[in-house]
Chains A and B, each alone.
Chain A
């Protein structure tokens, strides 16, 4: 099971920070990667980035300069930081488990709505 947590409101130009807590299994499981995905209101899903617990990270080309995904294996959690946010970053943010880095997402969190507004 995956559960996102974090603030629901972030001010423009600030950094959006979310945490995903993994339960029922270890985040260090081999073969599986972990990812962040978002869905702006009324739009489709957008992959943000994926990582492997050993440190390999992969980001969406258009977000690469603003995104950092990190892991805390002791807490079985991973985090998303998105800097310099604007209203365009308002979205439901999901964390998910990915089979390999290239394949399907077989477990998702319920999502955390983040609104960027002053």
Chain B
């Protein structure tokens, strides 16, 4: 079970859009529509921002959106705001009741 691949860092200015990719295999991301994304501010509990590839939990702004193509899932944050500056992790079901996370992406709002 290998970690999903995410870029180490991305950046954008306030108001811009950024996309974070999450690449796996047909055994995880490509095989199931159980991809979720988490926002993590250091010292705080991670927060669910996208689940089931494209769905947003109640209370998460519609600036956050998710998609998937083949073995790669993506999180797009539009209209960047200062509070979006955080680490982001993808997670996928990987079969046999196991979960696998990505290595994390540091988003810097310039």
Q: Hey, which bits of chain A sit against chain B, CB under 8 A?
A: 35, 37, 43-47, 50, 58, 60-62, 94, 96, 98-99, 101-106, 108-111
Q: Which of B24-41 contact A (CB under 8 A)?
A: 32, 34, 36, 38
Residue of A nearest to B99 (CB): A47
Quick check: A58 and B97 within 8 Å, CB to CB? yes
Residues of B within 8 A of A61 (CB): 1, 98
Residues of A within 8 A of B38 (CB): 45, 105
Question: What is the CB-to-nearest-CB distance from A71 to chain B, in angstroms, rounded to a whole number?
Answer: 16
Interface SS of B by simple majority? loop
Interface residues on B, range: 20 to 34
Quick check: B34 and A110 within 8 Å, CB to CB? no
Contact of A103 among B52, B89, B103, B104 (CB under 8 A): B52
